[in-house]
Structure 1
Amino acid sequence: MRALRRSLAPLGRFDALLQMQVAFRANVLSAFVPARRRIGYDRSRSKDLHGLFVNERIADRPGIHVLDAIGSFAEPLGLRQTQVRWDLPVPDQAHAWARAQWDDDGRPVLMISPCSSHPRRNWYPDRLAALADHAAAQGWRIVLCGGRSDLERSTADAIVAAARTPVLDLVGKDTLKQLPALLARADLVVTPDSGPMHIANAMGTKVLGLHAASNPRRSGPYSDVRYCVDRYDAAARKFLHKPADQLRWGTKIEFDEVMSLITVDDAIAAFERYRADHPR
């Protein structure tokens, strides 16, 4: 806290603080940022005493995507988001690295990024392997990507072991700057609700999102959810005993076995929807 105060002291008092995090730790840290206007979330999106740390709120718009809620923070400043466009500054060296990982032989690429930050959002390695086998039978190349955590390594190993088809395993081999370039080389990315989902979307790559613990209309790939598997309502009924439309917007259903509601047939159907829309 003292270090934060010291680092901000030379900057004086800010005109506005956009408090886009509602976790208690972030709320407390925001109190040490001197600002005249402290703009936070509407009441429906607030938690962890968020309202005590802000003096203005964005408009309450139920049922909107997380990205649109974040965009709403510009409105109190006199700006309005009218279009969403991504221009990620991916270095040429990152694109060169991605191009070097496999030769382009004309086969479409199914890239699997199997892990999110919460293990209960992750689908099962044997089911991902079954989807990979189906895609390979249709002439697709299968590529795995992910970070360097023990969970990501063990998940990748399990997928490779269960798959009957060869899999290019790039888990733990890329950097954060190389990841967008890698995702851009895919035709379709399979992933749970995760950071790579949104990076792939920003790079213009279609996403087969795996949703049961979270609502794809709130946190799925922003540009296109046509190829997502959506079992959020089924999860709400099974674990919370009510339909999804009766839940507070943003409710996460992170229970053990929630991702078991997504079957291999569900994922294959989503994959085939993509193939039907993108004939080769």
Structure 2
Amino acid sequence: MTVIALVSAKSCGVTTSALAMTLSSTRPSLLAECDPAGGTLRAGFFQAQITAGTGLYHLAVAERAGEDALAQAVANHLVAIDASGNRQVLPGLTDPAQAPALARSWPALAQVMRVLSDEGGYDVVIDAGRLALESGRLHPTLTPAPLLHGADLVLLVVRATDQSLALARHMTDPLRNELTDRGTGAGALGVLLIEDGPRRAHEVSDALRLPVMAALPWEPDTAAYLAGTGRAPRKLNKSALLGSARMALGHLQAAASRRALHQQYPQTQPAPAALPAPAPAATPVAADAPQLAGVLQRLGQGRKDPRV
């Protein structure tokens, strides 16, 4: 399956977009809320029904006991967001001050996300939050860089406004450099456009020198519901936002597959620039890796109801 990381230069709807993709996936899906600045799903979408006893911070403690403990902790801290339990969330930090404790845990967590995708059949959407830079590179504590390194695709979320593009423009080169030097290559990088503003996709692509890999419509009512600030629309299942998110996810999955194929067989022609090829898959973890073997079996047992 696919691991997609969403980032932004400023709050541009990363969490709402990630949640829309997770809810609309036609396959088992997982949203990992990994914003070092703190998560918003707990207080927003879940309406404070999840306590601080569940979530990302506890994985840092588990990781110090070994990767097997981390894998089990991931399973135990997932929260179901549908009746079937096929769509799940790993809630984020409750306090930005917790971020330094996770710095050494990001690589191992990235490995777990890879196993969930490659061996567990999950579409994994990572909410990596707002990017922070230090000396022109991704900040080692305030950005979960290892999660971006291992993702099939890294999407910079922008709105279709000049202000959003101006802010995002400063992030494109650091992201390219990071993915080239430590990740799966600059081809993993693209744009997720929120169609809230006058700029068209081709204008956004030209301004940022990046392909627009997917676009989502601006639908305030559904967005407010996903953010926890509004009621569910009467016909949520017919929402334009969720329908577009489902189509976008399908396009991104196909793009990731094409790029992985091109990486495996370089002599084949890459995808055309208008529909960019996805990021080469990170080195897969062996299915029988002892430290991670239990995670897939425990996923079904680890689902929680947020009301508990």
What TM bracket, shorter-length normalisation? 0.3 to 0.5
TM-score, normalised on structure 2?
A: 0.34
